[in-house]
């Protein structure tokens, strides 16, 4: 199967405390922040690799994985890392972060997907910088393809994928005829979450994502990476979501430490009046 994965590099959310908002509030100051692949996209890439191999023999690649990003030149580091992990080809759409919003990213990806004709498009359920949770659903609509968001499990069947989605109150399972779009949730990288048609259903993966071996990092430098201008894939569009101001959230103050259960219960009843 041929899988296309959309990847975005984001300001490391675990370093988010370092996000600085100048008093004017006009933009978020990303200077000094570490960049890394959006964690959900990391999981989408791992999912793509699992779906294009026999889990028992991952060295023999059985399909093709194409990774795509929209962003400035620096994002090529992210693409090269994905190539080193096992992706076959990369596409970067030249764009500054200021030029993009979810609507444009979706339109651009639609153009690329129409050219590439993958069987499956995988994405993260959300990019953890903007927390939009928009692009996957939008791409599916623009293509008129079926979709499954918040995927926790994917099993390949003949011409289809069976996807377990994490929804309010439980797990909803859908069967999608290919081609389709799937956005992945955290637990997609658990040991028994993803099965390609070739992988034995008893196989257990190691928890989490795989890492590139050193020789693969060298080899990745030679894998194809093409760059396209934004105008070629999303011609004539400009952003329609505008941020006029940012502000830090109100800070909560640390309260008191209680000595024991009795004191806790007394405070909750007498002081906070919540029980």
Partner 1 sequence: MADVLVIAELSDGKVRKTTLSAITFAREAAPLLGGGFSILVLGAGAKAAAAELTGFGAAKVYACDDPSLAQYTAEHFAPTAAAVGKSFGVVVATASSFGKDLLPRVAARLDAAYAGDCSAVSGEGGKLVYKRPMFAGNAFGYCTLSTPLQVVTVRQSEFAPAAPSGGASPVEDVAKAAPGAAAGRVQFVSLEQVKSARPELGDASVIVAGGRALKERFNELLEPLADTLGAAIGASRAACDAGYAPGDYQVGQTGKIVAPKLYFAIGISGAIQHIAGMKGSKTIVAINKDSEAPIFQLSDYGLVADLFQVVPELTAALKAKKAAG
Ligand X SMILES: Nc1ncnc2c1ncn2[C@@H]1O[C@H](COP(=O)(O)O)[C@@H](O)[C@H]1O
Residues near 227 by Cβ (< 8 Å), separated by ≥ 6? 91, 92, 93, 94
How near is the Cβ of 37 to ligand FAD at its closest, in Å? Answer: 11
- Which residues, numbered 57-86, are part of the site for ligand X (CB under 6 A)? 68-71
Q: Does 41 bind partner 1 (CB under 8 A)?
A: no
CA–CA distance, 79 with 92 (Å, rounded to integer):
8
Q: Does 248 bind partner 1 (CB under 8 A)?
A: yes
Between 148 and 199, CB nearer to ligand X: 148
Interface segment toward ligand X; rule CB under 6 A; list 78-86, 128-136, 151-159, 213-221: 128-136
How near is the Cβ of 233 to ligand FAD at its closest, in Å? Answer: 27
Helix (H) / strand (E) containing 270:
helix 261-270
Q: Which residue has its beta carbon closest to ligand FAD?
A: 39
- Which residues, numbered 174-233, are part of the site for partner 1 (CB under 8 A)? 174-178, 180, 185-187, 190
Peptide bond into 179 cis (omega under 30): yes
Give the C-alpha distances (Å, rounded to integers) separating 24 from 21, 207, 247.
8, 44, 9
Residue among 167, 213, 219, 231 that touches partner 1 (CB under 8 A): 167
Between 111 and 198, CB nearer to ligand X: 111
Interface segment toward partner 1; rule CB under 8 A; list 45-53, 95-103, 111-119, 212-220: 95-103
Mask 3-32, x = binds ligand FAD (CB under 6 A)?
------------------------------
Nearest to 147 by CA among 123, 175, 121, 180: 180
CA–CA distance, 4 with 120 (Å, rounded to integer):
6
Paired residues of 16 in beta bridges: none
Paired residues of 213 in beta bridges: none
């Amino acid at each position: 199967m041929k899988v296309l994965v959309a990847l975005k590099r984001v300001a490391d959310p675990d370093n988010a405390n370092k996000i600085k908002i100048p008093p004017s509030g006009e933009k978020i100051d990303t200077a000094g922040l570490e960049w890394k692949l959006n964690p959900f996209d990391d999981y989408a890439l791992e999912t793509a690799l699992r779906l294009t191999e026999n889990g028992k023999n991952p060295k023999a690649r059985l399909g093709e994985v194409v990774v795509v990003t929209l962003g400035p030149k620096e994002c090529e580091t992210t693409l090269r890392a994905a190539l080193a992990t096992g992706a076959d080809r990369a596409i970067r759409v030249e764009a500054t972060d200021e030029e993009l919003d979810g609507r444009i990213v979706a339109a651009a990806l639609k153009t690329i997907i129409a050219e590439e004709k993958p069987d499956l498009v995988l994405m993260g359920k959300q990019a953890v910088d903007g927390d939009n949770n928009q692009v996957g659903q939008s791409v599916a609509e623009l293509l008129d393809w079926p979709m499954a968001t918040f995927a926790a499990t994917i099993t390949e069947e003949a011409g289809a994928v069976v996807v377990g989605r994490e929804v309010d109150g439980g797990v909803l399972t859908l069967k999608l005829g290919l081609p389709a779009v799937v956005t992945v949730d955290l637990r997609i990288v658990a040991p028994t979450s993803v099965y390609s048609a070739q992988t034995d259903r008893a196989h257990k993966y190691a928890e989490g994502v795989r890492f590139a071996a050193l020789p693969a990092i060298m080899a990745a430098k030679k894998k194809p990476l093409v760059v396209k201008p934004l105008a070629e894939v999303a011609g004539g569009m400009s952003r329609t979501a505008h941020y006029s101001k940012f502000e830090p959230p109100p800070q909560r103050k640390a309260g008191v430490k209680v000595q024991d259960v009795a004191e806790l219960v007394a405070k909750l009843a007498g002081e906070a009046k919540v029980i």
